[in-house]
Structure 1
Amino acid sequence: MTLARQLFNWRMFWMLLACLVVFGGIFGFKFFGLHMMNRAMDNMSLPPATVTATRVQQQRWQARLNAVGSLRAVNGVDVTTQAQGKVKAIYFESGQPVDKGALLVELIAEPETAQIEVLEAERRLAEREFRRISELYKKGVATLRELDEAQSNIDQVLASLLVQRATIEERSITAPFSGRLGIRRVDLGQNVAPGDAVVSLQQLHPIFVDFSLSEQDFSRVEEGQGIELSAPAVPSQTFEGRITAIDPAIDPRNRTFLLQATLENPEGRLRPGMFADVAVKVEKFRTVLVVPRTAISYAPYGNSVFIIRKQQGKPEPKAPQKPILGRAPPPQTDLVAIKRFVKTGEVRGDMIEITEGVQAGEQVATSGLLKLRNEGGVIINNDNPPPEQLAPKPGNS
């Protein structure tokens, strides 16, 4: 029994030893493989990012006061009726330009015209009666009172004729000024009442823009000062104008004051009610450093740019790397991207002002910022650079 137990114990020992050697070899091989893979990854350089780049430019910008404005017609009304009646004729088409005094709509006026004939007959009778009384007065038969009453009858009839003719004129609706008509709001045979709108009429050339500035800028503006206007509805064009009126009072609710500028609008591209960005030109120039807006990396903790420059203390060139897993080695470059925090200022078109953080002539990345890392390699490819215009005009606008 003792011999059998000893044999069993030796068998268990050798079995455990064999398992330990087998599993130890497996785990050792796995550990060695991971170690070698980590070494290979540590020694493998990441591929450089391909970006576009440009130089920090130094420009002279004219100081401007920016505001948001609303366009308004010099003259703009809803043409309405002053009399009640049915529409007899319409002499305009929706959207057409018209001159001052042009006949737009005519209402039925037959009863009023007939009343004119009645009053004309009364006038002729009153005039004959006045001539008869005059002859009798000269002969001493009629009194002066009778002569005055005859003259009064003529005056009353003439006044009635003037009132009746004015009533008939009210049934002819004309344009109060030259401009462009809107959409017709009446139809033939429609019964209209006094005050009903017939059509909108707007004078588009020239045109006003109303905007507000802070009370701190009150002393910096004056009548005749130039402005520059751009409207999102007309993205391919900017418009020049002059300040023509400044409200003398400051609004106590928001501490701003109202200004009005006049702009030429011969083509009628600007329309009343449009939203517009207004820039008042202050007679002062300043030197600024600018980069394309695409070069700025925005973040809650601060804006930054990537400065591209050659490596400092470039190490000795390494031996050519062998392909890893069948892939070609990354291209070599001596340029690196350095992340630098900056302070931004005014934006004009595609460009943005940098007030702190860069120097004129430094090279900055303008696209592919998400691929960059601090002190990472870069390759510059400017085959398709981003736009760099102060007043961009898209070709498909």
Structure 2
Amino acid sequence: MKKIIILIAIALASLSAYYLMSPKEAMVKRPRPIPNVVVAKAAIMPIRDEVQALGTGKAFESIIVTSKVTDIITQINFKDGDLVEKGALLVQLRNDEHKAKLAVTEIKLVENLRELDRIRSLVTSKTIAELERDRLQSLIDTTRAEVSQAKAALNDRVIKAPFAGKLGLRQVSVGSLVTPGEQISTLDDVSKIKLDFSVPERFIQELQPGKLVEARAVAYPDRIFKGVVTSIDSRVNPATRAVIVRAVMPNDDYSLFPGMLMKVKLIKESREALLLPEAAIIPIQSKHFVYIVNEDNKVVQQQVTLGTRTRGWVEITQGLEVGQQVIIRGILKVRPDDEVKVQQAENFKFVQVEGMETSA
């Protein structure tokens, strides 16, 4: 125990002697190193206010190819997936009987017209009563109607493309008996695609034809398809509180298919604004601040007002001027009035920022 007390006394004596010998050196504080920060100059950038949604692609025109009558197929003039022009013959049904009926009625019409020409002079000379001429005229009118009916029945056995488009899979074969409503194939005009998507009702005031739309499909993740809003539905869905918006986009290379799910961006507004990376924003309660570096390389805390924002970017509506140097990295190492070493952000360049959403 005595040895421990002696050792403690010796240690205390040594410390006292050290401080007595060099009091100034012991009390001097080491200077705080000047921190390095990364800054970027505030600049005006083009931005877009957008609404994101999911949409379904539809053919610009679409029908199920079917027959109006019941009959047997004698000829098929297309293959699966063919591109056809308007008026192209797709399917021929059996029509021999109707050709014969048309020929008979046409012959009857010619005979009746010849007979009418023959008796006109007799009626003029009153050799034949006018009643006979009137009866023959009625017979001619009836025969003409029969000719039109026979032609219509004949045309019903010819199935043509009502518009240019792309055919689907063939569902019948030569010799099949088809009935009205039975699907022979499908025909879609996919040179343009109609894209329907839902937009929340709070954006209705900003919706109007002519707004630009950009869409992506899962099948083409690196490709953007552009279109234009053509119409807005007249009703809001009471269950979803959304309205259906329809856009039309060109599909000249037939890449898009009807029924595709697409991620849609409706561009409400395109404008220019002052933007900063979100990392530069310092939230304090309900207010927002940034650290700027002045001409003396000192940190100044400045309050700003935020506008719209997106992932990684935020719009500054008040409190910041173009060209001011804003700290974007190293914020936690500094305080207002600290002197700093400035380093410009590498690979930091202002580009068009997309996908801006209204700030809450």
TM-score band (shorter)? 0.5 to 0.7
1:76 aligns with 2:88: no
**Unpaired runs of at least 5, structure 2:** 1-37, 280-308, 316-325, 332-351, 355-360
TM-score of the pair, normalised by structure 2: 0.65
Superposed displacement of residue 134, structure 1 = 1.8
Runs (4 or more) in structure 1 with deviation over 6 Å come to 54-59
Q: Match of 1:362?
A: 329
Whichever structure has more strand as a proportion of its residues is 2
1:261 aligns with 2:264: no
Contact 2:47 2:353 in 1 (8 A): no
Q: Match of 1:222?
A: 208
AA at the equivalent of 2:258: P
Correspondent of 1:105 among 86, 91, 103: 91
CA offsets per residue over residues 211-265 of structure 1, 9 Å max, x none? 1111111112221111111111221201111111122332333221111111111
Counterpart-to-counterpart distance in 2, 1:57 and 1:90: 69
Counterpart-to-counterpart distance in 1, 2:127 and 2:216: 84
Contact 1:105 1:174 in 2 (8 A): yes
| Structure 1 residues 104 and 234: alpha-carbon distance in aligned structure 2, compared to 1, 3 A threshold | same
1:238 aligns with 2:228: no
Q: Secondary structure at the match of 1:248?
A: strand
AA at the equivalent of 1:250: V
AA at the equivalent of 2:173: D
Superposed displacement of residue 60, structure 1 = 5.5
Contact 1:98 1:180 in 2 (8 A): yes
Greater displacement, 244-253 / 103-112: 244-253
Superposed displacement of residue 162, structure 1 = 0.8
Q: Match of 1:186?
A: 172
AA at the equivalent of 2:162: P
Counterpart-to-counterpart distance in 2, 1:277 and 1:153: 65
Q: Secondary structure at the match of 2:203?
A: helix
Q: Match of 2:282?
A: none
Counterpart-to-counterpart distance in 2, 1:258 and 1:99: 32
Give 1:231-380 correspondences, 5 Å limit. Answer: 231-283=217-269, 284-285=271-272, 346=310, 352=312, 361-362=328-329
| Structure 1 residues 154 and 185: alpha-carbon distance in aligned structure 2, compared to 1, 3 A threshold | same
Contact 1:180 1:201 in 2 (8 A): yes
Q: Secondary structure at the match of 2:63?
A: strand
AA at the equivalent of 1:181: L
Q: Secondary structure at the match of 1:206?
A: strand
Q: Match of 1:67?
A: 53
Q: Match of 2:130?
A: 144
Correspondent of 1:134 among 120, 123, 133: 120
Q: Match of 1:332?
A: none
Contact 1:60 1:288 in 2 (8 A): no
Q: Secondary structure at the match of 2:236?
A: coil
**Count of matched residue pairs:** 257
| Structure 1 residues 215 and 130: alpha-carbon distance in aligned structure 2, compared to 1, 3 A threshold | same
| Structure 1 residues 132 and 361: alpha-carbon distance in aligned structure 2, compared to 1, 3 A threshold | same
| Structure 1 residues 60 and 122: alpha-carbon distance in aligned structure 2, compared to 1, 3 A threshold | closer
The structure, 1 or 2, with the larger RCO (C-alpha pairs under 8 Å, 6+ apart) is 2
Contact 1:61 1:287 in 2 (8 A): no
CA offsets per residue over residues 17-40 of structure 1, 9 Å max, x none? xxxxxxxxxxxxxxxxxxxxxxxx
Q: Match of 1:177?
A: 163
Counterpart-to-counterpart distance in 2, 1:224 and 1:276: 20
Superposed displacement of residue 121, structure 1 = 2.5
Q: Secondary structure at the match of 1:247?
A: strand
AA at the equivalent of 1:261: A
Superposed displacement of residue 193, structure 1 = 0.8
Q: Match of 2:105?
A: 119
Superposed displacement of residue 196, structure 1 = 1.6
Counterpart-to-counterpart distance in 2, 1:363 and 1:94: 63
Superposed displacement of residue 346, structure 1 = 4.0
Contact 1:56 1:362 in 2 (8 A): no
| Structure 1 residues 286 and 116: alpha-carbon distance in aligned structure 2, compared to 1, 3 A threshold | same
Q: Secondary structure at the match of 1:268?
A: coil
| Structure 1 residues 111 and 361: alpha-carbon distance in aligned structure 2, compared to 1, 3 A threshold | same
Correspondent of 2:194 among 208, 219, 223: 208
AA at the equivalent of 2:260: M
| Structure 1 residues 60 and 390: alpha-carbon distance in aligned structure 2, compared to 1, 3 A threshold | closer
| Structure with the greater alpha carbon radius of gyration | 1
Contact 2:66 2:185 in 1 (8 A): yes
Q: Match of 1:33?
A: none
AA at the equivalent of 2:130: L
Contact 1:96 1:180 in 2 (8 A): yes
CA offsets per residue over residues 345-373 of structure 1, 9 Å max, x none? 745xxxx5589xxx863289xxxxxxxxx
Superposed displacement of residue 69, structure 1 = 0.8
Q: Secondary structure at the match of 1:258?
A: strand
CA offsets per residue over residues 323-349 of structure 1, 9 Å max, x none? xxxxxxxxxxxxxxxxxxxxxx745xx
Contact 1:68 1:277 in 2 (8 A): yes
Q: Secondary structure at the match of 1:100?
A: coil
